[in-house]
């Protein structure tokens, strides 16, 4: 850790089982000051201090940007603030605003909007002539039907400002477009007001999908984790697992790297950490979306296991405007698989296998406790009860080991017989 009295601001902390490894790695690199919507609990041991800014009242999670700016300025008056970062999707724009207000490196407000607003991403990539799905923005079900007919089925329907595939579905014909639009429109209302209502209608691009976590420093794009995505059953885009090869040749693929660099230039992101999703179609790599933070689903953690590169340390370096150290300590294949119940349920008990009890099994953890309700799409998203992590010498073997390990997870539950669910969509 650096030994001066400065701090790096962190906005938002997220769900502990998914995100603690990041704050741990960041805290080993620099003293941290957390600004969050609740008092620090599990985060406290990693922090030099913390502030609380309560979200605005209303539907969904809407952050108080003025309050967050004031809190950041208050910390700056008493400490040397050397950078600001987030790995939390709702905090992406606020983090950019703080960086601009305090004169720190980071995503610009334009770049953050270009990531957070899927329609703006599409418009910027179009202007730059970069490969992406054909798309249209629809504000009504009728407009969605017209756009889908023009693009031609099957199409993807998604909200403008959500993440984690919430509200996203593939629609194969005109009979399903109204329901898919309504789901996307409804999901959008759990986010910031500027993204409420409407949906993107996009061409379905066939082909394998990857995600790339990368750092951008002074316009230089530096990929450090390529994950091969495993999707659940259609029509939804639930991400059920990810595979990372520490020696993946895609990390050095010139065509892919140039596409990623150009895409970040197009959306206005000279500094920051991003998570970009790419599909390999018959016409080559196509940009699906760019997110202004590290990937979720423990992808950077899996990358750390595969390479030794600590994503928390990378966050701090980029927040300070430094070129991060991205040389792997080792290179192996590691994957994660999430376990879903067979139906909506209330958990009674979860039993996971011990590391080493199956070939390559590194970790296995429950994700919810007894009494938790777990729901499947379309009523909710990210309805997982456990995950397993395995390693292997190659991706195919790793995938097979994940399947075998996931089969050892035991779930005892009571079925939920609720025909409708009116709560948050995750």
- Supply 418's token pair: 């609720």
Residue given tokens 């390529």 in the structure block: 226
* Beta-strand relationship, 239-245 and 199-203: unpaired
| CA distances for 148 relative to 139, 196, 327, angstroms | 13, 21, 45
Taking the C-alpha atoms of residue 323 and residue 321, their distance in angstroms, rounded to an integer, is: 7
Report the pLDDT averaged over residues 9-15: 94
Please say whether the beta carbons of 287 and 132 come within 8 A. Answer: yes
pLDDT for 136 beyond 90: yes
- Supply 106's token pair: 């980071």
Q: What is the pLDDT of residues 301-360, one digit of tens each?
A: 999 999 999 999 999 999 999 999 999 999 999 999 999 999 999 999 999 999 999 999
Distant-in-sequence, close-in-space partners of 396: CB < 8 Å, separation ≥ 6? none
Q: What is the pLDDT of residues 169-207, one digit of tens each?
A: 899 999 999 988 988 887 665 555 566 678 899 999 989
Task: Name the E strands within 353-409.
Answer: 361-366, 373-374, 386-392
pLDDT for 274 beyond 70: yes
Look over the chain and give the mean of its residue pLDDT values, rounded to a whole number.
Answer: 91
Please say whether the beta carbons of 409 and 352 come within 8 A. Answer: yes
Q: What is the dihedral of CA 85, 91, 94, 99, to 10 degrees?
A: 10
User: What is the chain's alpha carbon radius of gyration, rounded to the nearest angstrom?
Assistant: 21
pLDDT for 89 beyond 90: no
Output the CA angle 105-106-110, nearest 5 degrees: 125
Please say whether the beta carbons of 155 and 201 come within 8 A. Answer: yes
pLDDT for 58 beyond 70: no
Per-position DSSP letters for 236-304, written without gaps between them: B--EEEEEEETT-GGGG-HHHHHHHHHHHHHHT-SSEEEEEEEEEETTEEEEEEEESS--STTHHHHHH
pLDDT at 293: 94
pLDDT at 59: 54
Taken in order 169, 174, 176, 182, is the CA torsion positive or negative?
Answer: positive
- How far is residue 272 CA from its own chain's centroid? 14
At 426, the pLDDT band (50, 70, 90 cuts) reads very low
pLDDT at 115: 85
pTM attached to this predicted model? 0.91
- Nearest CA among 178, 225, 237, 229 for reference residue 208: 229
């Amino acid at each position: 850790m650096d030994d001066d009295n400065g701090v790096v601001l962190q906005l938002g902390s997220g769900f502990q089982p998914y995100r603690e490894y990041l704050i741990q790695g960041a805290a080993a690199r620099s003293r941290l000051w957390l600004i969050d919507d609740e008092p620090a609990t599990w985060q406290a041991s990693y922090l030099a201090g913390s502030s609380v800014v309560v979200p605005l009242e209303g539907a969904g999670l809407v952050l108080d940007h003025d309050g967050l700016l004031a809190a950041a300025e208050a910390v700056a008056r008493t400490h040397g603030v050397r950078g600001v970062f987030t790995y939390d999707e709702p905090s992406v724009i606020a983090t950019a605003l703080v960086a601009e207000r305090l004169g720190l490196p980071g995503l610009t407000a334009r770049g953050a909007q270009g990531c957070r607003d899927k329609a703006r991403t599409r418009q910027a990539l179009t202007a730059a002539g970069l490969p992406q799905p054909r798309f249209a923005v629809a504000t009504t079900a009728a407009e969605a039907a017209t756009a889908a007919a023009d693009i031609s089925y099957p199409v993807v329907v998604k909200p403008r400002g959500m993440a984690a595939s919430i509200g996203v579905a593939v629609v194969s014909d005109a009979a399903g477009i109204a329901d898919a639009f309504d789901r996307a429109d409804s999901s959008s209302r759990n986010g910031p007001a500027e993204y409420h209502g409407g949906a993107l209608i996009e061409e379905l691009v066939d082909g394998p999908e990857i995600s790339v976590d990368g750092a951008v420093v002074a316009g230089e794009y530096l990929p450090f984790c390529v994950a091969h995505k495993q999707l659940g059953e259609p029509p939804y885009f639930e991400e059920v697992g990810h595979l990372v090869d520490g020696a993946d040749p895609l990390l050095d693929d010139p065509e892919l790297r140039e596409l990623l660099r150009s895409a970040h230039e197009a959306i206005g992101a000279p500094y920051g950490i991003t998570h970009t999703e790419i599909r390999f179609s018959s016409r080559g790599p196509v940009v699906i979306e760019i997110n202004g933070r590290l990937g979720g689903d423990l992808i950077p953690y899996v990358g750390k296991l595969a390479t030794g590169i600590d994503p928390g340390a990378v966050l701090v370096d980029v927040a300070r405007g430094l070129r991060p150290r991205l040389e792997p300590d080792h290179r192996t294949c590691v994957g994660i698989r999430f376990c879903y119940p067979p139906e909506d349920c209330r958990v009674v008990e979860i039993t996971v296998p011990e590391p080493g009890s199956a070939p390559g099994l590194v970790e296995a953890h429950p994700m919810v406790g007894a009494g938790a309700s777990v729901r499947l799409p379309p009523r909710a998203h990210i309805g997982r009860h456990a995950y397993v992590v395995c390693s292997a010498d190659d991706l195919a073997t790793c995938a097979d080991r994940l399947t075998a390990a996931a089969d050892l997870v035991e779930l005892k539950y009571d079925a939920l017989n609720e025909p409708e669910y009116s709560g948050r969509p995750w």
